[in-house]
Amino acid sequence: MEEEAHGAAAETASDYINHHLTNLQVCRIDGEWVWNHCEAGLFSANTLNVDSMAIAVLLGFGFLYLFRRVAKKATSGRPGKLQTFIELIVGFVDGSVKDAFPGRNKLIAPLSLTIFIWVFLMNLMDLIPVDWLPEAAAAVGIEYLKVVPTTDPNITFAMSLSVFVLVIYYSIKIKGFGGFTKELTMHPFTPPTRGVGIIAAPFFIAFNFILEGVSLLSKPLSLSLRLFGNMYAGELIFILIALLGLYQLPLHFGWAVFHILVITLQAFIFMVLTIVYLSQAHDTGH
C-alpha cells in the first residue's frame, strides 16, 4: 500500500487528487488499531480523522498561547507592538459583537474571538503549498495528510452545531420554553383564535412550525456548509493547479492572493453569523 502511494510515476491525476483529499484515519476494529482501512459510511463512531483533529487542536493551542501570553502581560500603559496587534483584533471582534448583539453576555465576545481566529488559522493552512506537508509526512511514513481542517465537514459541523446548541439554549433561557415554542408555531401566520376558523388553527401551527423549523435548522447547516464548501473548493483548485507542471507558478500565486481574501472573509462570516444567530436567540422583540 505504501509503495503504491509513493509510486509517483504510476500516479494518475485522479489518484493524486484523491490522495490529497483523503484524511489520515485511525479506528479500532476487533481490538486492533487500524490505519486508513476504516468503514466509509456516513457515520462511523469508532473512527478519528487524526490529521484534521491534530492540526485543529495545534492551531487552537497556538492561538491560545499567543493571546494568553499577551493577556498575562497586558498593560493599560504604553502597549508593545504585539499587544497593539492583539488589541486590534480583540477590538475588532468586540466592535462586531457590539454592533450586532444588543444585550450583555459574557460568553459571546470570547466565543466570537475564538471562532474568528481559530477558523482563520485553520483556513490559513490552505495557503501552504499543497504538497509540502503531505510530502513531509510521507517522508516520515505517514501515508495520508489532509492539511486544511476546515475542508473536513467534521470540523465545520462540530463548530456550527456547538453554536446551534447555544442558540437553542439561549432561546429557551431568555424566552422560556413556552416563548420559544410560541416563536416556532405562532409566526409568521397567526392562527385564528375564535369563531369557526379555530378548526384551521392546527394547520396554521403545523405550517408555521415547518417553516420556522426549516429556517432554524438551516442556520447551522448553512454556517458549516458555507465554510466547508468554500475551503474544499479552494483546496481542490490548489490541487488542480498543482497538477499543471511549470504553469502552476503564476496560477498558484494568483489563486493564493485571491484566497487570502477568501479565508479571512469566511472566518469573518462564520463569526458574524454566530453573533447574529445568538442575538436572534436573545431577541424577545416579537
Partner 1 sequence: MNFNLTFIGQTIAMIVFVWFCMKYIWPFIMGAIEARQDEIAEGLAAAERGRSDLAKATGESEQLIAAAREQARQIVDQANARAGEIVEQARAEGAEEKARQLDGARAEIEVEINRARDELRGEVVAIAVAGAEKLLAREIDPAAHGEMLDRLAAEL
Task: Point out which residues bind partner 1 (CB under 8 A).
Answer: 23, 25, 27, 38, 40-49, 52-53, 56-57, 60, 63-64, 67-68, 70-72, 74-77, 79, 83, 86-87, 90-91, 94, 106-107, 109-111, 113-114, 118, 152-155, 157-159, 161-162
Query: Min. distance of Cβ 130 from partner 1 in angstroms?
Result: 21
* CA 285 to chain CA mean position, Å: 29
**Would you call 208 a catalytic residue per the annotation?**
no
Q: Which of 241/281 has CB closer to partner 1?
A: 281
**In 3-state terms, what secondary structure has residue 221?**
helix
Interatomic CA distance for residues 11 and 263, integer angstroms: 30
Do 137 and 251 form a contact (C-beta atoms < 8 A)? no
**Would you call 226 a catalytic residue per the annotation?**
yes
Three cell numbers, residue 27: 479506528
CA distances from residue 264 to 17, 79, 121, 238, 271 in whole angstroms, order as listed: 25, 26, 9, 17, 11
Interatomic CA distance for residues 85 and 267, integer angstroms: 18
Q: Which of the following is catalytic: 36, 154, 162, 226?
A: 226
Query: Min. distance of Cβ 240 from partner 1 in angstroms?
Result: 21
Query: Min. distance of Cβ 43 from partner 1 in angstroms?
Result: 5
Interatomic CA distance for residues 276 and 286, integer angstroms: 16
**Would you call 96 a catalytic residue per the annotation?**
no
Q: Which of the following is catalytic: 52, 96, 230, 279?
A: 230
Q: Which of 29/71 has CB closer to partner 1?
A: 71
Number of other residues whose CB lies within 10 A of the CB of residue 47: 19
Q: Which of 96/185 has CB closer to partner 1?
A: 96
Query: Min. distance of Cβ 81 from partner 1 in angstroms?
Result: 15
Interatomic CA distance for residues 54 and 149, integer angstroms: 9
Helices (H), 78-143: 81-100, 108-124, 132-139
Backbone dihedral region of 30: left (phi > 0), alpha (psi from -120 to 50 degrees) or beta?
left
Q: Which of 58/243 has CB closer to partner 1?
A: 58
Helix axes 201-242, 248-282, angle to 10 degrees: 160
Q: Which of the following is catalytic: 44, 222, 224, 279?
A: 222
Q: Which of 159/241 has CB closer to partner 1?
A: 159
Query: Min. distance of Cβ 189 from partner 1 in angstroms?
Result: 35
Residues constituting the chain: 286
Q: Which of 34/251 has CB closer to partner 1?
A: 34
Query: Min. distance of Cβ 263 from partner 1 in angstroms?
Result: 18
* Positions marked active-site: 222, 226, 230
